[in-house]
Amino acid sequence: MNYWPLLAVLVVIIGFMRRWNPVLVVMAAALTAGLTAGMSPERLLSEIGDGFVKNRYLLIIILTLPVLGALERAGLREHAQQWIARRKGLTPGRLMTVYLAVRQSAAALGLTSLGGHPQTVRPLLAPMAEGAARAAHGEIGPKLRERLRAMAAATDNVGLFFGEDIFIAFGAVLLMQGLYAENGIIMEPLHIALWGIPTAILAFAIHAWRLHRFDKRMAQSVAAEKTVEGINHD
């Protein structure tokens, strides 16, 4: 067995540890693996081209990131924070509960790409939640800000995970249908998807309650921080 292609793993580790350009690191790893495996340069380029053509749907993601970067540079996060800060009575928990409902409903219809961490949570949901927190409690500390961002990411995960199980063409639903069929149990994908509805409703209720409790804990944490600051000033 030829172990030399495993050098590509080392290339990836070193590249990410040194914080080099991820695209260049991946390309260097691919070239390392191909050349050490005995591929000719022509065949290696052919394999890379075939992989690109077969996975060209990834272009949607690849092209989305530069657009989001340009929007953030133009002040997307700041505008989102300012817009949400003008909405009185809108707490971070309430905002994320609304997003959870939209995310879960869209995923149930198969529209899983409408949300996500890079295209929605980081540039929109998290800044808007921070703006709502600032409007309700004033300036918040870095620890609370990180917890707020983590809860925004968790909200997206819950909405997607339990929403897509209701979509009959989702891969996991079809996988379960095939597994049952192999064991002599005939079930339609629609029946499996329908049984996912109670789980999705329960998941929404539980996470909405967590967001409500998160609002209360944030208010207590902010009050405690202000008390400590007042003592220190005195």
- Residue in this structure with the two tokens 């695209």, named with its chain if needed: 23
Would you say residue 233 has pLDDT above 60? no
- The CA angle 32-56-26, to the nearest 5 degrees, is 20
233 against 155, higher pLDDT: 155
135 against 74, higher pLDDT: 135
Cα–Cα dist 174/75, whole Å: 42
**What is the three-class DSSP state of 18?**
coil
The fraction of the chain above a pLDDT of 90, given in percent, is 20
Segments making up each domain of the chain, as ranges: 4-54, 59-233
What's the predicted TM-score (pTM) here?
0.65
As a whole number of angstroms, the longest Cα–Cα distance in the chain is 75
Cα–Cα dist 195/206, whole Å: 18
Encode pLDDT of 89-137 as tens digits: 788 899 899 999 999 999 888 888 778 887 788 888 888 888 888 888 7
Average pLDDT, the chain: 81
